């Protein structure tokens, strides 16, 4: 299937790449189908791209990249909505806000996107943990990670990318 995006042009994706949000995302409740796209020109971020609206895409990162001990506690409703089996853990991604001054970029750790990779269903969960922030500063943490291991890109350290969940839009600008 081909989806239109404002960032990557037309992108060829497989149906099994689509992640379904039964409740949408906060502020975008009507959008239910997304795909994780790799940005070949960016060493850090992937994009959670709407399959339904070309101009809706969110830069995302896995929280473990900048918050090693991140372990969201889910409610029973969260687990049921994600259709998790006993003992199954969802993958978490955080939506990143990148202002004009990138040193002020933040991650939403309070309301991560949780994905059941097996079934490709997801939910944005507002966690009850009051120690988590909606605007967690991450620039210094990302910078430190790069300094510690300059020869390895941040993306290559991502478990989701390693599992083949992120689609590479190499086939962008596909003619229809």
Q: What is the mean pLDDT of the chain?
A: 88
pLDDT in tens, 127-176: 999 999 999 999 999 988 878 777 776 766 665 554 455 676 644 443 33
Question: Span 102-112, mean pLDDT?
Answer: 97
Question: Span 56-71, mean pLDDT?
Answer: 91
% of the chain at pLDDT higher than 70: 87
- For 138, residues 6+ apart whose C-beta sits below 8 A from its C-beta are 61, 66, 96, 105, 106, 107
* Pick from 19-23, 64-68, 129-133, 137-141: least confident: 64-68
- CA-nearest of 103, 8, 2 to 48 is 8
pLDDT in tens, 33-59: 999 998 888 888 899 999 999 999 999
| Torsion sign (Cα): 91, 118, 25, 124 | negative
Question: Which structural domains are found in the chain, ordered by start?
Answer: 2-162 (2.30.290.10)
pLDDT at 65 over 80: yes
């Amino acid at each position: 299937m081909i989806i239109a995006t404002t960032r990557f042009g037309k992108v060829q994706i497989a149906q099994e790449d689509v992640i379904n949000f039964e409740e949408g995302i906060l502020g975008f409740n009507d959008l239910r189908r997304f795909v994780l796209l790799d940005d070949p020109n960016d060493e850090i971020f992937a994009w959670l791209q709407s399959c339904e609206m070309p101009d809706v895409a969110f830069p995302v990162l896995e929280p473990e990249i900048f918050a090693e001990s991140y372990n969201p506690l889910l409610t029973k409703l969260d687990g049921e909505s994600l259709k998790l089996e006993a003992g199954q853990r969802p993958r978490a991604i955080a939506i990143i806000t990148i202002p004009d001054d990138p040193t002020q970029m933040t991650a939403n750790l309070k309301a991560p996107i949780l994905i059941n990779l097996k079934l490709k269903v997801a939910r944005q969960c507002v966690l009850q943990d009051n120690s988590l922030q909606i605007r967690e500063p991450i620039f210094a943490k990302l910078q430190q990670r790069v300094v510690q291991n300059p020869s390895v890109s941040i993306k290559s350290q991502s478990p989701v990318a390693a599992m083949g969940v992120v689609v590479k839009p190499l086939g962008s600008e596909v003619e229809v």
